[in-house]
Amino acid sequence: MPSLLTIDDLDDETLRHLVRRGAAFSAGASAPDALADKLIGIYFRKTSTRTRTAFTAGAVRLGAKIITYGPNDLQENTGETAEDTAAVLSGMLDVLVARTAGPQAELEAYAAQGRMAVVNAMSADEHPTQALTDLTTLHRRFGDVDGLRVLYVGEGNNTASALALALSRFRGAELHLRTPYGYGLHPRFLHAAELRAKHAGGTVVERHDMRDLPGVDVVYTSRWQTTGTSKPDPDWRTTFAPFQVTEAVLGDAAVFMHDLPAHRGEEVTAEVLDGARSIAFAQAENKYHSARAVLEWCAA
């Protein structure tokens, strides 16, 4: 069974298939018995509203049975290794959806057993299922992802890294990142995205200011305090303050996206998040539709 640990696990054809399939589910398609004989483990060490609910509901809607694990349920807490845990679970489960918020290597250890598919529901480095949700949302809104122009404002976190790796593979797409100095996209992800965009005839560019904003189709932000992390600089809010998404940043034509949860008055104003051009809550619902696409691909 194929695993999804990073966007890089998907070739271009599979990436586009998952986006189209998520959009089809969002438009009303169903596959109620697709996973009727499958057992899905849902393991979350960190808090989650959208991702945990999306994969739980998605598995049930596809006909699967689920087992859920919280942060204190597995013997990893007593020192069992990730490899041993996965070796045991792979004899019983078909898919493990895991949010560790830790290093990517831990998820790679889960996936090394080769029998059970593993889905990264967020690691410290990357949030690939969020990127698939984002692209599904863009496809539903605009009918295609090729050629879209996106402005991402805020921390270069795991949501931003996954978005950069995914959007850069679509023909002519533009991703403009405006991140506070010292909080940009990790150079490994930025360099990879720049190369892919060049190959696809698009653009990925990062700046650390809010001057001369480009005209775009979408403005996207994420909460300043990424889930499961803290910032060493006690004055970090001062650094982030110029990167708030306001009506002026949104401009005249762009729609607004946010991976949620949102803090009104911090990364985005209430007027933008709750305004007529916000599609953030449709984006949240699309996490469920995208989760069904991922589970169907992994296990059907």
Q: How confident is the model at residue 48 (pLDDT cuts 50, 70, 90)?
A: very high
Round the average pLDDT of the chain to a whole number and report it: 96
Instruction: Write the CB contacts of 58 (distance below 8 Å, at least 6 apart in sequence).
Output: 288, 289, 291, 292, 294, 295
Cβ atoms of 63 and 33 within 8 Å: the answer is: yes
In the numeric block, which tokens belong to residue 278? 């916000």
| Per-residue pLDDT, 227 | 66
Instruction: Give residue-wise pLDDT tens across range 55-64.
Output: 999 999 999 9
State the average pLDDT over residues 181-199.
97
| Per-residue pLDDT, 222 | 97
Distance CA 224, CA 50 (A): 18
What is the percent of the chain where pLDDT is above 90? 94
Instruction: Give residue-wise pLDDT tens across range 65-117.
Output: 999 999 999 999 999 999 999 999 999 999 999 998 788 999 999 999 989 99
Q: pTM of the predicted model, to two decimals? A: 0.96
| Per-residue pLDDT, 172 | 98
Instruction: Give residue-wise pLDDT tens across range 128-158.
Output: 999 999 999 999 999 999 999 999 999 999 9
| Per-residue pLDDT, 300 | 81
Q: How confident is the model at residue 228 (pLDDT cuts 50, 70, 90)?
A: low
Instruction: Write the CB contacts of 270 (distance below 8 Å, at least 6 apart in sequence).
Output: 264
Q: How confident is the model at residue 184 (pLDDT cuts 50, 70, 90)?
A: very high
| Per-residue pLDDT, 38 | 98
Instruction: Give residue-wise pLDDT tens across range 245-281.
Output: 999 999 999 999 999 999 999 999 999 999 999 999 9
Task: Report the amino acid identity of residue 279.
Answer: I
Give SS3 for 205.
strand
Answer with the residue of higher pLDDT: 102 or 183.
183
| Per-residue pLDDT, 233 | 87
Cα-to-chain-centroid distance, residue 174: 18
Q: For each of the domains in the chain, give its residue range(s) and CATH number, in order of start.
A: 7-127+287-299 (3.40.50.1370), 130-283 (3.40.50.1370)
